[in-house]
Structure 1
Amino acid sequence: MNTTESSSLYDDLEKLDIITLLQSINKEDQKVALAIEKILPSIQKLVEEIVQRMRKGGRLFYIGAGTSGRLGILDASECPPTYGVPHDLVIGIIAGGDAAIRKAVENAEDNAEQAWEDIVSFGFNEQDTVIGIAASGTTPYVIGGVKSAKSKGLLTACITCNLNTPLAEEVEFPIEVVVGPEFVTGSTRMKAGTAQKLVLNMISTTVMIKLGRVKGNKMVDMQLSNEKLVKRGTKMIMEATGLSEDDSKAKLLEFGSVRAAVESFYQK
């Protein structure tokens, strides 16, 4: 059943007042986390495999079209500044290329061959993982990409919001988050998009923690790309070492990361 295209539970939306619209959207949004809770074991199995592969030099690719592609790029782009990992460790690819991040590229999602070509442009090895993201589970670009990746020995998974889709049939680890009809019929940037974002958060965060990129509950390898992050890092060092604010900031700027600064302090 194509749940993502099924009719909204609400009607005559244009006749509803603003607070009723907001309350109704909020009510629907609350269903998303509960839907994800039901499939946590599936996400767990996927993360376990990704961690094993990344420890052996594998990388993580997200492929998608439209909103799904943008969400993959968002998650991938946040990994280097948050965890201090290389920019080519988690890679987001969208149908139609970077131009499609801001503006739809006509027919890009219908090309079943292009996704694999896009992956190959980054190089690949058998320890890599490809996660296809498609709310409908029917996007040719994504299906073709995971199918080719699997044939080359890469680990494949998907995040979709329908059950028993062509995309899920092609991957080893299908993540199927059925969140029900959208508030505006077929507008999968809403609940489906929220579900995909939450699952991506779970996957990348848990992977990075298991790869040692978090200590305690702190982002000790974050990039110091602005003053806010320098202040955050300074506070982390103060808490870990007992140094003054000025000394902590000086150490942070000298060593370039919270982890390196704290380790240098305790190596004395």
Structure 2
Amino acid sequence: MNKQDSKNLLHPSMLQIQYLLELEKVGKKSGSVALIADTCGVSHGPVSRFFKECIERGYLTEKYECTAEGAHALLTYKKLLRDVKLYLKAMNIPEKEIPEKMKQLIENVDYDLLRTMIRNARQATEQTSEQDKNQKDTQDDQYNKDSNAYFIEKILEKGKFQVGIAIHQISRNSETRLSMAHQGFEHLAWIRNNTRGSWLELTIREIHGRSRIDGTEMSGHLSSLKYEKQGQLYEAVIKDGHLKIPLSACHFFRGRMGNIKGTVHITVACNVGNAHMPESTAVLTFWM
């Protein structure tokens, strides 16, 4: 698939890709949408709406039969799923963490960038000799850092850019909702990209809430934030009501309207009222 094809390709979620894979298995027959929904653990509506979008994009016919373009797209999704899984295994990501890591990469990273990351890692693995095995982990970190740095340099100019942010908590059934930590920051942040480095700068603000026990009004603040980078957690330094997250820890992709978005996994803890809220994992999204 060339670069232009990739830019026009529908960028579905992992669950939506599963809808297409199930459709390929069951084929078009009476009740196929309901069967796919039941298999994927969702209601009829999300499957029906996604297939309607696929029809509009020319992937499916009105009878839910795959077009030539749809078959080409499905083949691309299958290859990405396979390559991303192999990529994560090559990075020594624990088996139990691979499904969630795959989901984040497939859904949040531009396909061209994702293929570049995979290709770089594969080439590096092929070039690694027996004598270099002890340096493999360090090299893998550097390959990802280089891929991210390449994207930042190509997309962002030097300077200071205002971005919107949102923090979502992901439940076990993959549903998302705004996290309490979302209230703990100003919803406009800054990206700074200069010779000293590149980072996302957040401004902390007071959190307001109501006790579930007696309805008492409470207020508090964020007490800590850790960001994930290459499978490791690093604590962000909070200073003068601000904290910074390096862009090298973030994943970037282009939205459907061409805007740039980024995501980073974070772990946050808050003090609200007399209660210290336990650490919770969330996804921080920002966009320009």
Structure possessing the higher relative contact order (Cα contacts under 8 Å, 6 or more residues apart): 1
Q: Does TM, normalized by the shorter one, top 0.5?
A: no
Tell me which protein shows more helix as a share of its residues: 1
Larger relative strand fraction: 2
TM-score, length-scaled by structure 1: 0.26
